[in-house]
Amino acid sequence: MQLIERAFHHEREQLRQCGLKITTQRLIILKELMNHADHPTVHMIHEAVKKELPAVSVDTVYRTLLSFSEAGLCTVLDGMGEARRFDPKRTVHHHFICNNCGKIVDFACTEFDNLQLPSVFKKGFTVENKSVRLSGLCPDCNK
Amino acid sequence: MQLIERAFHHEREQLRQCGLKITTQRLIILKELMNHADHPTVHMIHEAVKKELPAVSVDTVYRTLLSFSEAGLCTVLDGMGEARRFDPKRTVHHHFICNNCGKIVDFACTEFDNLQLPSVFKKGFTVENKSVRLSGLCPDCNK
DNA sequence: TTATTAAATAGGAATTATTCTTATTTGTCA
DNA sequence: TGACAAATAAGAATAATTCCTATTTAATAA
Ligand SMILES: [Mn+2]
Ligand SMILES: [Mn+2]
Ligand SMILES: [Zn+2]
Ligand SMILES: [Zn+2]
């Protein structure tokens, strides 16, 4: 555990800032998540983490990634009929999802970001998230 | 089956226009779907259909609703980490999803509908669907 | 530093949504 | 009416996610 002690300065600091207890599992999971620009699933992160921590449980990966998203360290992309995907990109952006291969492509859309919400949501609702979702076929799947 | 023979004129016509074989199951499932303005799940439709057709299988409801969506008779709202929801509303609209109770609220957003897609998608991609997704708390869940 | 304690974890079972398999039934169309 | 492809029922299989419980561990106060 000396290795862990020495490294993971950045991860350690992020957890501390979020008030999350610092555990070996969390440090490694956080580092793995930040290494994946491709919206990884729990399964992908679990596989990667097992290389450094063979006994880590799938439940821990789930719990940890969900607590990261609650803490604002990442976001969750629910659905697509498939497994939940996690997104380490912290800046505002949107997603195109390929209906054939499931690939997720990030894009920006400032015009949309600047749109006012419909007035229905002015009262009573709390809108926590606002995003554009495109779907269709990616260039690879378009033959 | 005389009842089915006589009624379901509208459903029968819709199936015919889509080139879908007309079966008792499809007629009843279609009618039920159109009765639900609240984005029903497969389970909800299955329960409703069983009242008229007790032996209908869950697999048939799945298969049928998916073929309806392929035929354009409805759309599928994948995800939310929960069960797939089906949407009989045929006009362009968008959704707010309550993170607490799961309720889905329709809304229109013409300004968004009129936005140009980012230029990334001009070449190579085929964008089949384009929508806004809001999430947060609905008035009921906001205490 | 050490003892205390609440939080985190491993491991596996349970749950739930969805898909698959196979034998049987049913529309469609000639 | 008869042939045949398509649709269905029933239940098994698969996969994602959550739950349960005994054990371990990080934070912190003495
Ligand atoms: Mn992203
Ligand atoms: Mn809708
Ligand atoms: Zn693709
Ligand atoms: Zn709600």
Has residue A85 been placed in a domain?
no
Angstrom distance (rounded) from CA B111 to CA B133: 14
Specify the pLDDT at position A100. 83
**C1'-nearest nucleotide to the CA of B57:** D9
Q: Tell me the average pLDDT of chain A.
A: 91
Tens of pLDDT, residue by residue over B9-21, are 999 999 999 999 9
Burial level of B97, CB count in 10 A (0-12/13-18/19+)? buried
Judgement on whether residues B24 and B64 belong to the same structural domain of the protein: yes
> What pLDDT does B1 receive?
44
> What is the percentage of chain B residues whose pLDDT exceeds 90?
77
A71 and A97 both lie in a single domain: no
Evaluate whether residue A73 is within a structural domain.
Answer: yes
Domain span at A68: 2-77
| End-to-end Cα spacing for chain A | 49
Which pLDDT value is given to residue B108? 94
Same-domain status, A8 and A56 = yes
Has residue A16 been placed in a domain? yes
Same domain for B15 and B58, yes or no, is: yes
- Please check whether strand D approaches the CB of A62 to within 7 Å: yes
Task: Choose among A97, A93, A69, A65: nearest CA to A82.
Answer: A97
Same domain, residue pair B100 and B66: no
Give the per-residue pLDDT at A2. 45
Ligand 4 center from residue B68 Cα (angstroms):
28
Contacts of A111 in chain B (CB under 8 A): 115-116
Band (B92; pLDDT cuts 50, 70, 90):
very high
Per-residue pLDDT of chain A (143 residues; tens, 9 = 90+): 444 556 799 999 999 999 999 999 999 999 999 999 999 999 999 999 999 999 999 999 999 999 999 999 999 987 656 789 999 999 999 999 988 888 899 999 999 999 988 999 999 999 998 999 999 999 998 87
pLDDT computed for residue A99 by the predictor: 85
Instruction: Report CA Rg, chain B.
Output: 18
CB-based contacts of B84, cutoff 8 Å, min separation 6? A81, B41, B42, B76, B77, B78
**Terminal CA-CA length for chain B:** 49
Is residue A37 within 8 Å of residue A88, measured between CB atoms?
Answer: yes
Cβ of residue B26 lies below 7 Å from strand D: yes
Asked whether the predicted pLDDT for residue B5 surpasses 60, the reply is no
Same domain, A21 and A70: yes
Contact A46, A86 (CB under 8 A): no
Report the CATH number at residue B59.
1.10.10.10
Q: Do B71 and B96 reside in the same domain of the chain?
A: no
Q: Do residues B73 and B7 share a domain?
A: yes
Summarised one tens digit per residue, pLDDT across range B59-83 is: 999 999 999 999 999 999 876 567 8
CB B73 within 8 A of CB B20: no
The whole-angstrom separation of Cα B119 and Cα A94 is 14
CATH number for the domain that contains residue B102: 3.30.1490.190
B22 pLDDT tier (thresholds 50, 70, 90): very high
Chain C footprint bases within 7 A of protein beta carbons: 7-13, 16-21, 26-28
Q: Which residues from chain A sit within 8 angstroms of residue B135, using beta carbons?
A: 127-129
Residue A100, domain member (yes or no):
yes
Determine what percent of chain B is predicted with pLDDT higher than 70.
94
Helix B24-35 to helix B58-71 angle (10° resolution) is 70
- Distance from the Cα of B125 to chain A's closest Cα (Å) equals 5
Task: Give me the number of domains chain B comprises.
Answer: 2
3-state SS, one letter per residue, for B18-29: HCCCCCHHHHHH
Per-residue model confidence (pLDDT) at position A1: 42
**Same domain membership, residue A126 and residue A103:** yes
